[in-house]
Amino acid sequence: MNFPRQVVQLLLCAGFVVPACSHAQVDPEKRQLFHLGYNQSLQGLGPVAAYAFYYLNIPDWPREGQTLRLAVAPVYLDSELAFREALGPQTHLAFGAAGGGFADGQSEVRGGKFIKEESYNGHGGEVSASVYHRFNPEAQIPLNAVLRLAGHSAVEPNGGGLHAAGGHGHAAHARGPALRRARAVADAQRGAGAFRVV
């Protein structure tokens, strides 16, 4: 099925506009979400793709002016403690830590066929520092920026070594399904997709 070029362009533009409508700031609302899911390939034998995570955002905790965000999967934790207006009005500072099992694995699938010999389980962790800034607090359509510096390290237990990278972004193709979904929810809640430097 071929889509006209204009339809594809419209969908791509919508993908860039929709994240900009969310808050690229520290989330001021208390939120809780428990998510369970399972993905199954339509043909062939694919990797197990079950996932579960709990998302929690608590403003003014542990102290007033601070916000704790957690995304907890059975073998992985993604956390961030934000200090609202720490760098001035509309500019927040946050420190994050994440890590656990299966987050840096690779499930190789080519042509709909799962290739077990080229797949592996990888485990890892990361620390990050982020700055969230809103340029136009009075405007109806917000203009936000998120600047993030992250250090990431990973271990491949079946023969691979330790890999470390400073300022490493989040590569979805090398992540487990639970982490990808937990990260996506966390990013959507704080609107990091609006403008993100990693």
Computed over every residue of the chain, the mean pLDDT equals 76
> Tokens 């389980």 map to which residue?
121
Please report, for residues 20, 110, 161, the alpha-carbon distance to residue 45 in angstroms, rounded to integers and kept in the order given: 38, 12, 28
* Pairing between β-strand 196-197 and β-strand 144-155 as defined by DSSP bridges: parallel
Q: The pTM is what?
A: 0.65
Would the pLDDT of 171 be above 90?
Answer: no
Provide the pLDDT confidence category of residue 4 given band limits of 50, 70 and 90: low
Cβ neighbours of residue 71 under 8 Å, at least 6 residues apart? Answer: 53, 54, 55, 56, 77, 78, 79, 182, 183, 185, 186
- What value, to the nearest 5°, has the Cα angle with vertex 53 and ends 153 and 64? 85
Asked if 93 and 133 count as a contact pair (C-beta separation under 8 A), the reply is no
**Percent of the residues in the chain that have a pLDDT greater than 90, as a whole number:** 39
Rounded Cα–Cα distance for residues 24 and 27 (Å) = 8
